[in-house]
Amino acid sequence: MEYEYRFQVRLHDTDHAGVVFFAHLFTHAHDAYEAFMASVGLGLGALIADGVRLPVAHADADYLLPLHHGEEVAVTLAIAELGRTSFTVAYEFRCDGELRARLRTVHVFLDTQSGRPADLPQDMRAQLGPFGLEDD
């Protein structure tokens, strides 16, 4: 199962060359992640209020084709890997079905007391599991 998030490229997203600045794709990916987490009952605001920390330990991107001002972008998001203490989110950015970029982020669950990586809680595992790439 995949989650879809949409946005339109705004003028402030673009650089002097008229394309979306590379770092901004991570902002959009995190917006998609935040919307996805809320949709599965893991809203980040509530998690943070409960003392949960899920820092990003790794992020990478492949920029296949540029994105331009005004374009409608569909971001599909899936869980590429559910580890012991971490999960990897995979994002594909498409315009009119054309793949423009691929990103990944790795999120690590930290124990509230020690601040060290700890086993992903069972409920989080259950909520993320259905979006695993291997389930497609």
Ligand X SMILES: CC(C)(COP(=O)(O)OP(=O)(O)OC[C@H]1O[C@@H](n2cnc3c(N)ncnc32)[C@H](O)[C@@H]1OP(=O)(O)O)[C@@H](O)C(=O)NCCC(=O)NCCSC(=O)c1cc(O)c2ccccc2c1O
Q: Which chain residues interact with ligand X by CB under 6 A?
A: 44, 47-48, 53-58, 83-86, 106, 108, 110, 117
Q: Which amino acid is at 9?
A: V
Output 59 or 95, the one with its CB closest to ligand X: 59
Output 50 or 98, the one with its CB closest to ligand X: 50
- With CA atoms as reference, report the closest residue to 7 among 76, 89, 99: 76
Find all residues with CB under 8 Å of 41, minimum gap 6, and list them: 127
Output 119 or 135, the one with its CB closest to ligand X: 119
- Give me the least distance between CB of 107 and ligand X, in Å please: 6
User: How much is the CA Rg of the chain, to the nearest whole Å?
Assistant: 16
- Give me the least distance between CB of 66 and ligand X, in Å please: 25
- Give me the least distance between CB of 115 and ligand X, in Å please: 7
- Give me the least distance between CB of 32 and ligand X, in Å please: 11
- With CA atoms as reference, report the closest residue to 63 among 24, 109, 120, 108: 24
